[in-house]
Amino acid sequence: MTQTNRQILLVEKPTGKLLPQNFKMAEAAIPEPKDGEVLLRVLYISLDAANRAWMQGATYRAAVEANTVMAGGAIAEVVKSNAPGFTPGDLVFGDTGWQDYAVVRAKHLVKVPRIDPITNLLSVYGVAGLTAYFGLLNVGKPKADETVVVSAAAGSVGSFVGQIAKIKGCRVVGIAGGKEKCNWLVSELGFDAAVDYKSEPVFKALKAAAPNGIDVYFDNVGGDIFEACLPQMNQHGRISCCGAVSAYDGTPPAHGPRGVPGLIVVKRLIVQGFIFTDFNDQRDAAMADLQSWVKAGKIKVQEDIINGLENTPNALIGLLAGENRGKRMVKV
Amino acid sequence: MTQTNRQILLVEKPTGKLLPQNFKMAEAAIPEPKDGEVLLRVLYISLDAANRAWMQGATYRAAVEANTVMAGGAIAEVVKSNAPGFTPGDLVFGDTGWQDYAVVRAKHLVKVPRIDPITNLLSVYGVAGLTAYFGLLNVGKPKADETVVVSAAAGSVGSFVGQIAKIKGCRVVGIAGGKEKCNWLVSELGFDAAVDYKSEPVFKALKAAAPNGIDVYFDNVGGDIFEACLPQMNQHGRISCCGAVSAYDGTPPAHGPRGVPGLIVVKRLIVQGFIFTDFNDQRDAAMADLQSWVKAGKIKVQEDIINGLENTPNALIGLLAGENRGKRMVKV
């Protein structure tokens, strides 16, 4: 156990693309938990496109401010507890920030079981898996034989969305960057087709890959890809809005996708934003489904684990550039 | 009864703003109904912003083609019937087009009761009233004390939306063009506030008029006003997409509203397009509600009736410019 607490601070809010120099490493004393608080040792930090959005301003949470420890969800172990219900050795999920140790109010923590491997708590049994599950099934509501299109399909959420849609009997098309990812989606994860937005015009390639139109579009990216999908939506289609990564890293786009709201009217679409906690009341059922699908080999869990707290900034920068396949996290 | 059938043809599809010269008057023989068809005398033609959208391409109906009778819904009287269930004197609603007489297949007609005044069949008991009712209550789902904002608020649909929202106990803000319309919304129809988009910056004026944010935005216009409302939506707000009149008359806008889909995610919004026929199964209940509200004086019905078939083109051009107050129609 180190005797100091290494912390990664956001030294300034990025104005354009996120850069390594927006962060710096600092050291502090290991903090003491006060009443109702718990001292945690951080094990695995989750990296998510949303981390970048938090730097832009208030979202579903307060903005991350300059000169503070960078925020982020993580799996952590209780070291010291001043709160009932938490004892040393307990495993929890919470927003610890990017550091070795964190003191967090117990009411903001969720206790999680010590499964093997525990990294699955950040991928299929964590935010990524639950986001895919609820965003697809509760928001997108696909029916068997419908066509589901998912963007950032090789990312953590997207790879689960496609596999769950296959389980539900849908035709699944993934949009991803690069031939390698696209091949992986089809040959390893069982997608019916994949569109490589880096090498082919998305609108045309989608038209070929989804000849019956799109019933559910699971949107992780916004921007041009949202605009390419919109006119191909079928009547009464659903767009599940999970994120808009195209707008996070850099200056926000000057305008939104063409066809909003006209095509939403004409096609009678439902376009719905969500975060997975909106469906907390159905979490147990979701978890049971995910577990049975993983056990049955119907969901393959791809994780992209980077070692060392000091590499967290570059891990996020790389994620925003789309270099990961599956769920990216940092082993502290 | 005239012996010829006057018809207004769309001679060419408008490329920019709709102009009188896009239409011409023609004369034809009164047609004979074939098997399963009905000959109708057109009484009142409904004018709707959607008429202009039909010229742009396929919507929820086929596009209106050049050199054909301009399409349009109307209240008409059966003159001659070759279809079971229809007899001379029956009143119907259907797409007769802009002409004195029309032959229509009986299965495309809806029989309507001969109420007084029958013009109410095109306003509160017709497309406008049902669109407002279903779009507000089934799509927007406002709760008491929530804030409802409606654009094109002095138009046929908008004026009903605001009044129904008041009946449901909401705070109601209308967006309309011109002081006179805005005064009318507040003093005559009971809106809580009105924003004049012609004389004040919409974003700022809305902020003042809806200090608790917007829970339901009923969108008739799209474009800049949609963009001004979006950042003011409350968490879990609903946008009921009824039309996008800002995009109908002229070349379609280059881009959509800023903040789509990012703000839809962050605010967990539901943005839903609809047309009133999506809720046909609930039509009787809707009609009963509308009747009781009109009878109780809770809904004031404003109609804007223009005389003479020959004035239909200018009536539509004026409607697209926002010159009407309440439901515009032409008495043939």
pLDDT digits (tens, 9 = 90+) for B17-76: 999 999 999 999 999 999 999 999 999 999 999 999 999 887 788 899 999 999 999 999
Q: Give the model's pLDDT for residue A29.
A: 96
Per-residue pLDDT of A113-127, as tens digits, reads 999 999 999 999 999
Confidence band of A2 (pLDDT split at 50, 70, 90): low
Q: Give the model's pLDDT for residue A295.
A: 97
H or E segment and range at residue A271: strand A270-273
> What's the length of chain A?
332
Alpha-carbon span A96 to B49, nearest angstrom: 53
Q: What is the mean pLDDT of chain B?
A: 95
* Cβ pairs bridging A and B (under 8 Å): 125
Among A46-55, A301-310, B241-250, B295-304, the minimum mean pLDDT is found in: B241-250
> Which residues of chain B have a CB within 8 Å of the CB of A273?
261, 263-270
**ipTM of the complex as predicted:** 0.93
Return the residue of A nearest to B259 by Cα: A256
Record the tokens describing residue A140, joined without a space.
């997108």
Nearest to B256 among A53, A259, A270 (CB): A259
> B303-307 and B327-331: which strand pairing?
parallel
Q: Do A257 and B254 touch (CB under 8 A)?
A: no
> Which residues of chain B have a CB within 8 Å of the CB of A278?
268
Chain B residues in contact with chain A using a Cβ-Cβ cutoff of 8 Å: 53, 59-60, 219, 222, 226-227, 235, 239, 241-244, 247, 252-275, 278
Mean pLDDT on A307-321: 97
Per-residue pLDDT of A267-281, as tens digits, reads 999 999 999 999 999
pLDDT at B1 over 70: no
Per-residue pLDDT of A166-203, as tens digits, reads 999 999 999 999 999 999 999 999 999 999 999 999 99
Contact between A44 and A117 under an 8 Å Cβ cutoff? The reply is no
Distance of residue B168 Cα from the nearest chain A Cα, in angstroms: 24
Alpha helices in chain A (DSSP H): 49-54, 127-134, 156-167, 179-187, 202-209, 223-229, 262-266, 283-295, 312-320
Q: What is the mean pLDDT of chain A?
A: 95
Environment class of residue B256 by beta-carbon count within 10 Å: exposed (0-12), middle (13-18) or buried (19+)?
buried
Confidence band of B318 (pLDDT split at 50, 70, 90): very high
Alpha-carbon span A239 to A229, nearest angstrom: 9
Q: Give the model's pLDDT for residue A56.
A: 86
Distance of residue A252 Cα from the nearest chain B Cα, in angstroms: 9
Return the residue of A nearest to B272 by Cα: A270
Tokens 């109307």 appear where?
A: B74
H or E segment and range at residue B77: strand B73-81
Q: Do B266 and A226 touch (CB under 8 A)?
A: no
Picking from B109, B68, B67, the residue whose alpha carbon sits closest to that of residue B87 is B109
Nearest to B262 among A244, A267, A270 (CB): A244
Alpha-carbon span A114 to A120, nearest angstrom: 10
CA torsion B175-B177-B180-B182 (nearest 10°) is 10
pLDDT at A1 over 60: no
Among A237-241, A308-312, B232-236, B256-260, the minimum mean pLDDT is found in: B256-260
Cis upstream peptide for A261 (omega within 30°)? yes
Q: Do B241 and A278 touch (CB under 8 A)?
A: no
* Domain A127-277, CATH class in plain words: alpha beta
Per-residue pLDDT of B203-237, as tens digits, reads 999 999 999 999 999 999 999 999 999 999 999 99
* Domain A4-123+302-331, CATH class in plain words: alpha beta
Q: Do B272 and A267 touch (CB under 8 A)?
A: no
Per-residue pLDDT of A298-308, as tens digits, reads 999 999 999 99
Distance of residue A116 Cα from the nearest chain B Cα, in angstroms: 32
Chain A residues in contact with chain B using a Cβ-Cβ cutoff of 8 Å: 53, 59-60, 219, 222, 226-227, 235, 239, 241-244, 247, 252-275, 278
> Which residues of chain A have a CB within 8 Å of the CB of B278?
268
Q: Give the model's pLDDT for residue B121.
A: 97
Mean pLDDT on A153-160: 97
Contact between A4 and A43 under an 8 Å Cβ cutoff? The reply is no
Distance of residue A255 Cα from the nearest chain B Cα, in angstroms: 4
Q: Do B265 and A275 touch (CB under 8 A)?
A: yes
Record the tokens describing residue A304, joined without a space.
């992209």
Q: Do A242 and B264 touch (CB under 8 A)?
A: no
Nearest to A271 among B53, B235, B264 (CB): B264
Nearest to A273 among B256, B267, B274 (CB): B267
Q: Give the model's pLDDT for residue B248.
A: 84
Per-residue pLDDT of A126-146, as tens digits, reads 999 999 999 999 999 999 999
Mean pLDDT on B184-206: 98
Please list, in sequence order, all residues whose beta carbon lies within 8 angstroms of the beta carbon of residue A322, skipping any fewer than 6 positions away: A152, A155, A176, A177, A178
Mean pLDDT on B146-163: 98
Q: Give the model's pLDDT for residue B2.
A: 53
Alpha helices in A135-271 (DSSP H): 156-167, 179-187, 202-209, 223-229, 262-266
Q: Give the model's pLDDT for residue B264.
A: 96
Q: Give the model's pLDDT for residue A58.
A: 78
Contact between B108 and B83 under an 8 Å Cβ cutoff? The reply is no
Among A21-25, A135-139, B12-16, B244-248, the minimum mean pLDDT is found in: B244-248
> Which residues of chain A have a CB within 8 Å of the CB of B275?
265, 268
Q: What's the Cα-to-Cα distance from B61 to each of A169, B65, B139, rounded to whole Å?
A: 31, 12, 21
Distance of residue B279 Cα from the nearest chain A Cα, in angstroms: 12
Mean pLDDT on A150-163: 97
Domain ranges of chain A: 4-123+302-331, 127-277
Return the residue of B nearest to A61 by Cα: B266
Mean pLDDT on B119-126: 97
Q: Give the model's pLDDT for residue B251.
A: 72
The count of C-alpha atoms lying within 13 angstroms of the C-alpha of A158, restricted to the half-sphere facing its C-beta, is 32
Mean pLDDT on B125-130: 96
Please list, in sequence order, all residues whose beta carbon lies within 8 angstroms of the beta carbon of residue A311, skipping any fewer than 6 positions away: A330
Q: Do B257 and A258 touch (CB under 8 A)?
A: no
Q: Give the model's pLDDT for residue B45.
A: 98
Distance of residue B182 Cα from the nearest chain A Cα, in angstroms: 25
CA B57 to chain centre: 18
Q: What's the Cα-to-Cα distance from A284 to each of A288, A289, A295, rounded to whole Å?
A: 6, 9, 16
Q: Do B270 and A271 touch (CB under 8 A)?
A: yes
